[in-house]
Structure 1
Amino acid sequence: MDSIDLEVLKTCDAWIKAGQPCELVTVIKTWGSSPRPEGATLAIAGNGQVVGSVSGGCIEDDLIERVQREGMQRHLPEIVTYGITADEAHRFGLPCGGTIELAIEPLSARSQLDALLQGLQRHELLARRLDLHTGEVTLASADPGQQLQFTEDALTTVHGPRWRLLIIGAGQLSRFLASIAVGMDYQVTVCDPREEYRSGWQVEGVQLIHAMPDDLVLEMQLDSRSAVVALTHDPKLDDLALMEALKSDAFYVGAIGSRINNAKRRERLKEFDLNDEQLAKLHGPIGLYIGSKTPAEIAISILAELTAVKNRILLPAEVNVAHAKSTLA
Structure 2
Amino acid sequence: MDSIDMEVLKSCEQWLAGGHRCELITVIKTWGSSPRPEGAMLAMCDDGRVVGSVSGGCIEDDLIDRVRKQGLTRLRPEIVTYGISADEAHRFGLPCGGTIQLAMEPLSTGSLITELLQRLSAHELVARRLDLRTGQVTLGTARAGMALQVSASTLTTLHGPRWRLLIIGAGQLSRFLAQIAVGMDYHVTVCDPREEYRTGWQVEGVELVHGMPDDVVIDMRLDVRCAVLALTHDPKLDDLALMEALKSDAFYVGAIGSRANNAKRRERLKLFDVNDAQLAKLHGPVGIYIGSKTPPEIAVSILAEMTAAKNGVALPTEIQVGNAKNVKNSQPENSSCTNN
TM-score if structure 1 supplies the norm length? 0.98
Tell me, in whole angstroms, the C-alpha distance in 2 between the residues paired with 1:214 and 1:202: 22
Residue 236 of structure 1: aligned partner: 236
Residue 80 of structure 1: aligned partner: 80
Identity, % of aligned positions: 74
Residue 308 of structure 2: aligned partner: 308
2:277 is the counterpart of 1:283 = no
2:100 is the counterpart of 1:61 = no
Tell me, in whole angstroms, the C-alpha distance in 1 between the residues paired with 2:149 and 2:203: 33
Tell me, in whole angstroms, the C-alpha distance in 2 between the residues paired with 1:194 and 1:41: 40
Residue 268 of structure 1: aligned partner: 268
The letter for the 1-side match of 2:107 is: L
Residue 319 of structure 1: aligned partner: 319
The letter for the 1-side match of 2:89 is: A
Tell me, in whole angstroms, the C-alpha distance in 2 between the residues paired with 1:155 and 1:183: 25
**1:139 is paired with a residue of what secondary structure?**
strand
What is the root-mean-square deviation of aligned Cα atoms in Å?
A: 1.0
Residue 167 of structure 1: aligned partner: 167
Deviation at 1:154, TM superposition (A): 0.6
C-alpha distance after superposition, 1:136-162 (max 9, x if no partner): 000000010000001111100000111
The letter for the 1-side match of 2:184 is: M
> Number of matched residues?
329
**2:79 is paired with a residue of what secondary structure?**
strand
Tell me, in whole angstroms, the C-alpha distance in 1 between the residues paired with 2:159 and 2:136: 17
Tell me, in whole angstroms, the C-alpha distance in 1 between the residues paired with 2:250 and 2:258: 23
C-alpha distance after superposition, 1:248-269 (max 9, x if no partner): 1111111000000000000000
Deviation at 1:323, TM superposition (A): 1.1
The letter for the 2-side match of 1:80 is: V
**1:43 is paired with a residue of what secondary structure?**
strand
Tell me, in whole angstroms, the C-alpha distance in 1 between the residues paired with 2:310 and 2:73: 41
Residue 185 of structure 1: aligned partner: 185
2:23 is the counterpart of 1:23 = yes
Residue 157 of structure 1: aligned partner: 157
2:129 is the counterpart of 1:129 = yes
Tell me, in whole angstroms, the C-alpha distance in 2 between the residues paired with 1:212 and 1:5: 33
The letter for the 1-side match of 2:323 is: H
The letter for the 2-side match of 1:287 is: G
Q: What are structure 1's unaligned runs of at least 5 residues? A: none
Moved over 3 A (4+): 325-329
2:200 is the counterpart of 1:200 = yes
Deviation at 1:276, TM superposition (A): 1.1
Q: What are structure 2's unaligned runs of at least 5 residues? A: 330-340
Tell me, in whole angstroms, the C-alpha distance in 1 between the residues paired with 2:220 and 2:209: 12
Tell me, in whole angstroms, the C-alpha distance in 2 between the residues paired with 1:255 and 1:325: 20
Tell me, in whole angstroms, the C-alpha distance in 1 between the residues paired with 2:316 and 2:328: 17
Deviation at 1:316, TM superposition (A): 0.8
C-alpha distance after superposition, 1:299-329 (max 9, x if no partner): 0000000000000001111211111147765
Residue 245 of structure 1: aligned partner: 245
Residue 213 of structure 1: aligned partner: 213
The letter for the 2-side match of 1:257 is: G
Tell me, in whole angstroms, the C-alpha distance in 2 between the residues paired with 1:20 and 1:325: 57
Residue 335 of structure 2: aligned partner: none
The letter for the 1-side match of 2:166 is: L
Residue 14 of structure 1: aligned partner: 14
The letter for the 2-side match of 1:279 is: L
**2:165 is paired with a residue of what secondary structure?**
strand
Tell me, in whole angstroms, the C-alpha distance in 1 between the residues paired with 2:327 and 2:207: 40
Q: Structure 1 residues 239, 326: CA separation in 2 closer, same or farther (over 3 Å shift)?
A: farther
Question: Does the 8 A contact of 2:318 with 2:325 survive in 1?
Answer: no
Deviation at 1:20, TM superposition (A): 0.4
Tell me, in whole angstroms, the C-alpha distance in 2 between the residues paired with 1:248 and 1:164: 14
Residue 49 of structure 1: aligned partner: 49
C-alpha distance after superposition, 1:168-208 (max 9, x if no partner): 00000000111100000000000001111111102111111
Tell me, in whole angstroms, the C-alpha distance in 1 between the residues paired with 2:299 and 2:213: 20
2:147 is the counterpart of 1:147 = yes
Tell me, in whole angstroms, the C-alpha distance in 2 between the residues paired with 1:95 and 1:280: 38
Deviation at 1:211, TM superposition (A): 1.0
Question: Does the 8 A contact of 2:288 with 2:302 survive in 1?
Answer: yes
Deviation at 1:274, TM superposition (A): 1.5
| 1:83-98 aligned within 5 A | 83-98=83-98
Tell me, in whole angstroms, the C-alpha distance in 1 between the residues paired with 2:324 and 2:274: 28
The letter for the 1-side match of 2:56 is: G
Tell me, in whole angstroms, the C-alpha distance in 2 between the residues paired with 1:86 and 1:254: 45
Deviation at 1:62, TM superposition (A): 0.6
**2:204 is paired with a residue of what secondary structure?**
coil
**1:278 is paired with a residue of what secondary structure?**
helix
Deviation at 1:240, TM superposition (A): 0.4
